[in-house]
Every structure is written in structure tokens, then in C-alpha cells.
Structure 1
Amino acid sequence: MSGRAGLAEARRVVVKVGSSSLTGDDGRLDQDALRRLVQVLAQRRAAGGEVLLVTSGAIAAGLGPLGMAARPRDLATAQAAASVGQGLLVARYTEAFAEHGLRVGQVLLTAEDTIRRGHYRNAQRALETLLDLGVVPVVNENDTVATDEIRFGDNDRLAALVSHLVRADAMVLLTDVDALYDGPPSRPGARRIAEVHGPGDLEGISVTARGSAVGTGGMVTKLASVAIATGSGIPVVLTSAAQAERALAGDEVGTWFRATGRRRSRRMLWLAHAARTEGRLVLDDGAVAAVVERRTSLLPAGVTGVEGDFEAGDPVELVSTTGTVVARGLVSYGSAELPELLGSSTHELRDRLGVGYDREVVHRDDLVLVPTRR
């Protein structure tokens, strides 16, 4: 997509809406707000586009039936509220889309579904099949069973991963502010940032990590989500739910984030952003340079240390001697057999241990670089 105007003709768009855009002042689900959003998405479908909706709001929807005045702070109670609210939320979406002759399909995902490659592929097939059947996928994190260790924590990151998963042409983030500003929007003189060409445009921008009273994500999580999407070749519009129709039409609203990278294979996205690593390989300076600058495979001679318990084929982090993560990769050896190979060339290993031990520790085709923060 060459620019914002191309969004009007984009074939497949992922739209993410936060809890704050679906709730009233009392923190309860606002059915009128939900219906207004559905009308916009239904218009897009009627025009021939495909839409996937990543929605928050399950916990907010459960507050009323459970008599709760605010979002629970502990995980167990929040999961109970999500269990009650998820059915209500999807029922409201089902009713609203049905008014436009459209069916919805609920897709609940946990981080485990993107951590494990088999689950990741299953999620991709399920979403593609729903789209092929003309169904609007309504995606949410499965708060009821997710644990602190494996949950997404917010739907912004989930939306970015889903966008790549289904090869979306663009992602639209709908929140309670109309755009990204160069400071707190409430501050006098704060300026809307109309377009972001790359990370350099965000230097010096002050954003808050705090979410709303009913949501979990703030602008920090949204920008992290934007980085995943744009770095994978997917442009993003960030704006308010009230501007959703204009945003999808390609109008000059919100903030447009241009794609900064090329589309990766789903396998590489899984490895870069979703895989839970099982260990670490410590690289000497020469190996770091070879992997990062020359994009070569990692050989045993460049590994100085092994951390963790993993098997061949597991995802691991590649770190410098100072502990900086420089890459992720699928390791060719288990943690038990690696220590005796360290520091040896592949020729030495073949002569000493036989054919098969002269392979790379991580092949370059199974390796993705991790940008380092300055």
C-alpha cells in the first residue's frame, strides 16, 4: 500500500478496538457504541472488503452482571469477569452484525497459541477459513484461561500478530484518543502527529504507559504493537472509534504509520515476536558481528556459554557477552550436548565426533535479528 489513501481499497484489514471505546462512564459495556462500530465494519464488508475485529471488552461486559464497580485487580477475579462477560460481548456483536446480514465467529487466543508453532498454524488456518466462509472473525485474548506467565496482557500486541498471521493489508487501532500527539493530548499546545515514517520520528515523544480504568493498554503498548506491524510490512492507522469510518476511507485522520519493513514469513514472525524461548546462547564479539552484520549462521566456535534446558529445534535467544539479545533462532543441538562443542570449528567437530556434528548451531534460515535499543 503506497499511502493512507490506499486504505480505502485495502482488501483485508484488522481493526482493534479497546475497552475504553466500548464502555460508558460507568465502565459498563455501551451497546450503542458497539453498534456504531459494527455499522462501520459492515459498510466495509458491503463494499467488498474483509474485516477481522480484535476486540477488548469481555471483562468490562462482565462487571454489570457481577455487580462490580471497577475492573478487578487480581487475575482470578478478572478471569471470572471475563468468563461471564465474553459470552455477553459476543452475543452483542452477533446481534449487531446480524442486523447487516453478517455472521461472526468467536476466536479466543492465548499467547500459548502463538508460542507453540503448531498452535500458531492452527490459529492461522481457523482465521483464514472463517474469512473464506464470509464470516467476520471476532478475536479476543482468552482471559479466562491465560496465566500471568503466558498472557498477552493487552490486545494491541495480539492485533499486530493477527494482522501478520492473516497477511492483512493494514491495521487500524481504535482507542479513546483521536491520534498520537507529541505530548499528553490534554496539555495546551500538544500537536497531533499526522504521519510517522519510522522510529526516528518518535524520538522525544512523551507517551503514557497507563491504560484506562477498564483496559490494560496505554499508548506505550499501542506503539509496541505498531512497531511489530510496520516492521513486518503492515501500515497502521491509530485513531479514535469515532473516526473509524473516516480512517477506513483513507481520510486524513488520526496518525498514519508507514510500513518500515518487508513482510516476513509467518514462521519468522512466530520466531521474532511470539516464540517463548527455552534458553540462551552467549556469543563472542566475532560471532555477534557475523550474525548481525554479515547475516551468517551461528557456528559452535562462536558460542561461549549455554543457559537453560532445551532440545534441538527449540527457540533460543542469542546474546552478546554483555547480555544484550541480538537474535532469536531455532537451535540444532540440545543444551546437554552443546557444551562439549563450544569453541570448536565444524571441521574439528567432524573429525572428533563424526559426520553430523559439523552442522551449524543455528542456521541463518532459522534466525531472526532482534533490534537493539539505544
Structure 2
Amino acid sequence: MEGRDPTVRIAVVGDPGVGKTSLITAAATETFPDHPPPVLPPAILPAETVPECVPVVITDTSSRPEDAAALELAVQEASVVVLCFAMDRPNTLARVSRHWIPELRRMAGGAHVPVLLVGCKADARPADHTLQAAVVPILQNNPAVETCMECSAKKLQYVGEVFYLALRAVVHPTAPLFDAQAQTLRPLCSRALKRIFMLCDKDKDGILNEAELNAFQIHCFNAPLQTEELIGVKQVVAERVPEGVQNGGLTLPGFIFLHALFIERGRLETTWAVLRRYGYNNDLVLSQETLSAVNFSHAPDQVLELSEEGRAFFTSVFERCDVDDDGVLSTREQEEMFSTSPGSPWSTPAYDGVLVETSKRGLLSLRGFLAKWAYTTATEPEVTLAYALYFG
């Protein structure tokens, strides 16, 4: 949660009488309140009491017209919203799509705030009603809704899990990794995983062998894979993605599929642990902490330049990507070069006036390529460092 207040703020919203206050009270005290107050004051949970070791503030809200300003402020400050409806009142579920999701979007002012949809009073749900059938259309049409669950404050069922899942939606968010509507990994997630695969593929044969997989596992989780675990992983991948296993090791498609499977099964913390171990923040770009290892401070009359080692490194990147060995980078070769990064750093207006050597067809030569990095280093040295890392 780089550069942000580490406190996770959970706003609990919904129609009057759906059970918001009872849910918070039951989770905090493990008792069901017979006569809950109209609205609770904010509940503060210190970091040492929370599994993810971050401070949490849970804010109860009222949907009465006279409390509209307080509700809007709570949503604007929220890291995640718990949107409640009553399992015994179908009209409150209907208002989720009709009223609450558009209102939350308006209050958040365009910011992405994850939403956990919670059916309260599960003990009173009619036997012929199922949660899944009722909420599938909502989940499909509203990407902000991370997941849905039901609970019962009266029976003390799953009330703690509500706030654990809300916390996890902030610390291990789904949205940067996975497009729920398209049911695919997001491009930045795939690019980051491709970079990690290439860093782990020490012999550059396009396959993670057992030694490389174990080194990866130790680097991320401080423990090697057991033999039976490794066999099981490869069996699962081979069944679903036949090209994902070759010569007894994982290929890039297999590696990416494995992480898509973790996400599909709700194990987002596994993929986030890998991404963070390799320097990524929640926006899936290299974190400032990763880049701050190099001090770029210099006097106003000084200009930073690539060292000989730097020029040699970028030359090796060019040569690796020039697969047809014609001395220039085609559009496809440039796309492949930047496929382990968020994209080309030279696509911004700041580089529009930069002219470098190209071929007669306008393709980038090695001299032109190094000239662009020389200019980038002089004007934005932190970008050069970031791309040196993205390139491996």
C-alpha cells in the first residue's frame, strides 16, 4: 500500500433494517444485540489484532436522508465497502443494482473501491431461495463487486469472515489481477508474470525445470516444493493446458495458467506474494521502494549518462529482441521487447520531438535505440532504471 495511509477503512452500507449494525456488533463482540443502536461509532482495530497486520476502521452508516453527508464521507474515505441486503427481504437485493451500486459509484467519484456484497439474516432466508441464483447477474454486470456471501448475526455464522474478506479485498485485491467480465488475467498482470518467469528461467530454455521451480518457491515462500506437490502441480497444468508442461518443466503458458487458477480458486494472496516479492505494487508497476535502491540526486549542472555497463546491457536487450538479426527492431520485435513491462516509455508526449537514427523503413536501429535510452537517462533516470529491471 505504497505511499498511502496503511489503515484499511471498511464502510458498511445498505437499506434501513438489513442488519448492518447487528453484523458489526456480532463480529466485534461475538454476541447478537437484541436492541442495537441506530448507528454505531467507528470501530478501530489495531494492527496487532488483525491477521494482515494493518490497522482497520469499521464505519457503520445510516441511509436516512438527514445522514446523507455522513454516508457520502464514509464511502469517499473507504478502502472497501460492505454492501448489505436482507435475505428475507427480496426488495433490498433488488435495490443493490437499482440504487446502491450507482450511488456508490457516484460517491466514490470514479475511484475504484471494491465492494463485498453481503446477504444478512441468512437464518431467515426462505428455504426455496438460493443466494447464488439471486446474485450472479449482479456479479456479472458490476466489476466493482469482488464477491458475495451470506451470514447470520443472530446465529453468529460467518460474521467474522465478512470483515476478513473485506480486508483481503484491499490487501489482496482482485481487480488489478483479473477481469471478472472477460474471465481473464489483466494485461499488466500477465506482463508481470512473464517477467518473473523469464527471471526464473536461468538457462533461458523457455522452461522452468525442477531446480528453477524450487528456487522460485524458496525465493517467494522460503520453502521448496515437496516432490509430490511438484508432481501434482504439473498434472493439473498438463490436464488443462497441455502446452503448459514440456520436458518435465513448466512453460510460460503453464506458469501463467497456474496463477490464473490460484485467482479462480480465491487464492489471491499466493499471486500477490509472488508479485510483491519481485517488486510490484498494487498498480502492478515496480514499487518506489524497489526503485529507490539507486540514488539519482545530482547537482543542477550535472547530467546523468549510461555507464559502459548500462550501454552493454541495453545492447544485449536489442540483440536478444532482434530475432531476425537484421540490425533493426520491427514493430513486432518492439512489442515483444516491452511485453515484460507496462509498455513503451517513449509513447508519452514528452518524447514526441526526440529524433534518432532509423532505417529507411523507419525501424529503430541499435544506434537509435541507445540514443533513446541516453535521452531517457538524462531526463528521467528513474525510468531507465525501471526498464532495466523490467527487461531482466
Q: TM-score, normalised by structure 1?
A: 0.31
| Higher fraction of helix | 2
Higher RCO structure (Cα 8 Å, ≥6 apart): 1
Q: Report which of the two structures shows the higher radius of gyration computed on alpha carbons.
A: 2
